[in-house]
Structure 1
Amino acid sequence: MWQRRQDRPLIAVTTSARSGWRVFPLVAFSLWLAGGRGVRWGTGRSADIDGVDGLIIGGGDDISPDLYGMQLVTSARLDPERDALERRLVEAAIARGKPVLGICRGAQMLNVALGGTLDQDAYGTYTASQRVWTILPRKAVTVCPGTRLAEIAGPDAMRVNALHSQAVARLGDDLVVAAHDRGGMVQAVERRRDPFALGVQWHPEHLFYARRQRAIFAALVAAAAAGRRSHGQLSAVDTMLEKTTL
């Protein structure tokens, strides 16, 4: 039975001013399939973390190295206003116990907001990594055993899309690597304690037809529902996964 709209956890989704109009509907659709509902945030829009149950930091432009104490060493399209907004939102979400999902740029922002750094020229560093630029699932990713991502999406290698040039370098506080590619480049990070936080370098919203990608949104919604009731988020995700496998 479909949930009533007001019963669905409300998830804020940050987008870029340029591409948000086409990205947000895909993310909102994935959230709806998972039992949640989305609201679009961005620069110039209202953004009150206390008014939502969870947060998705979406994809977009590269993150300025100013945020993690480095100098710009590669040509990049930056959005400083969005950087400031999203960093503040991630910090507030973690402080208030709201679950966070980072998508591509969002995974990088999650890492930076928690004190980590980025590799501005990831493919220059990881020369053995497969370089693709497509929304199609053509990049091979290895899921790290023993991680929550392995529980959520399964432990087998997966094919994902890739639209990024930066990647996680030094990990932020309380984050661990959850997936990498064949060249060793980080492809996902996760937080091992509440509140739930997961960052994936790919775009699961473009892969909504794949069960493993839908499970990522389902985990966020389960964590958001638990957080709304002041229940444990990671344990709620585990319970959801147990019911799914029955």
Structure 2
Amino acid sequence: MTRPVIGVTTSARSGWRIFPLVNLNLWLAGGRGVRWVAGRPSDIASVDGIVIGGGDDISPDLYGGKLITSARLDPDRDAMERRLVDEAMAQGKPVLGICRGAQMLNVALGGTLDQDAYGTYTASERYWTILPKKEVEVQRNTRLAGLAGTAPMLVNALHSQAVQDLGQGLRVAARDTGGMIQAVERTEEPFALGVQWHPEHLFYAHRQRALFRGLVEAAAGAAEGRPQLPAVSAAGTY
């Protein structure tokens, strides 16, 4: 079977370290990745799905906000990824958003971000680690639950911002124990899931590999003109 091709956006500064991990997860799921960075070609028509990867904070200019905290921004990457999400939705290509990518998925669909999420959600435990120490609660009857189950999940955390107002067509798929949104997903075709953690670092956990499997199965469905959501459901183990 031909492996679905997945475009993977990364930081131009540090993406060379992260892309191999993402690509490993895609390969284990039956796909293969191509790396995209701002300033170089990134053609949505050349791939079957996309991963919007982690990185710098998203400029509040994209959702009508004002910068209220010190942050490293990457406006060129912001513009590229917003375009790619728009094009993916228009062309029916599935999307997996990782950390920053979950936030970009939300913003591209008209949502907003909380720039000081831990200041708002004071009961949320704050971690800055690639190790799975943060507990999240997966919502029942979601695509995420179908892929990874509803048992409490330990994930890593490398973020200060979080989803605030939901973008059009999105619903909450997971929260942490303090109520902060940790995952969002589309309710209709095409498949789109954004998680606030970094599953690429947790490739040894089958529940995390399932997220990439869902994307790859959706991408295969899109490439063959089949509905994506039944393919995602079939890819789940719960």
TM-score, normalised to structure 1, is 0.95
Name the SS of the counterpart of 2:119 in structure 1.
helix
> Unmatched 5+ residue regions in structure 1?
none
The one-character-per-residue Cα deviations of 1:70-102 (angstroms, maximum 9, x if unpaired) are: 110011000000000000000100110000000
Name the SS of the counterpart of 1:108 in structure 2.
helix
Residue 72 of structure 1: aligned partner? 67
Find the aligned partners of 1:184 and 1:228 in 2 and give their Cα distance: 37
Matched, 1:154 2:156: no
Tell me by how many angstroms 1:47 deviates. Answer: 0.4
Matched, 1:218 2:195: no
Matched, 1:181 2:176: yes
Kindly provide the amino acid, as one letter, of the partner of residue 203 in structure 1: H
Name the SS of the counterpart of 2:81 in structure 1.
helix
Kindly provide the amino acid, as one letter, of the partner of residue 21 in structure 1: W
Tell me by how many angstroms 1:237 deviates. Answer: 1.1
Which of 41, 58, 62 lines up with 1:63 in the alignment?
A: 58
Find the aligned partners of 1:64 and 1:153 in 2 and give their Cα distance: 31
Residue 39 of structure 1: aligned partner? 34
Residue 27 of structure 1: aligned partner? 22
Contact 2:39 2:76 in 1 (8 A): no
Which of 81, 93, 114 lines up with 1:98 in the alignment?
A: 93
TM-score, normalised to structure 2, is 0.99
**After superposition, where does 1:160-239 map in structure 2 within 5 Å?**
160-239=155-234
Kindly provide the amino acid, as one letter, of the partner of residue 235 in structure 1: P
The one-character-per-residue Cα deviations of 1:99-150 (angstroms, maximum 9, x if unpaired) are: 0000000000000000000000000100000000000000000001111101
The one-character-per-residue Cα deviations of 1:4-52 (angstroms, maximum 9, x if unpaired) are: xxx0000000000111000000000000000000000011221000110
Find the aligned partners of 2:189 and 2:127 in 1 and give their Cα distance: 34
**Structure 1 outlier segments of 4+, above 6 Å:** none
Contact 2:63 2:110 in 1 (8 A): yes
Matched, 1:114 2:109: yes
Kindly provide the amino acid, as one letter, of the partner of residue 129 in structure 1: S
Contact 2:127 2:133 in 1 (8 A): yes
Find the aligned partners of 2:50 and 2:24 in 1 and give their Cα distance: 15
Tell me by how many angstroms 1:239 deviates. Answer: 2.3
Kindly provide the amino acid, as one letter, of the partner of residue 144 in structure 1: Q
Contact 2:138 2:152 in 1 (8 A): yes
Find the aligned partners of 1:73 and 1:163 in 2 and give their Cα distance: 19
Name the SS of the counterpart of 1:189 in structure 2.
strand
Residue 11 of structure 1: aligned partner? 6
Contact 2:49 2:88 in 1 (8 A): yes
The one-character-per-residue Cα deviations of 1:205-245 (angstroms, maximum 9, x if unpaired) are: 0000000000000000000000001110001111233xx57
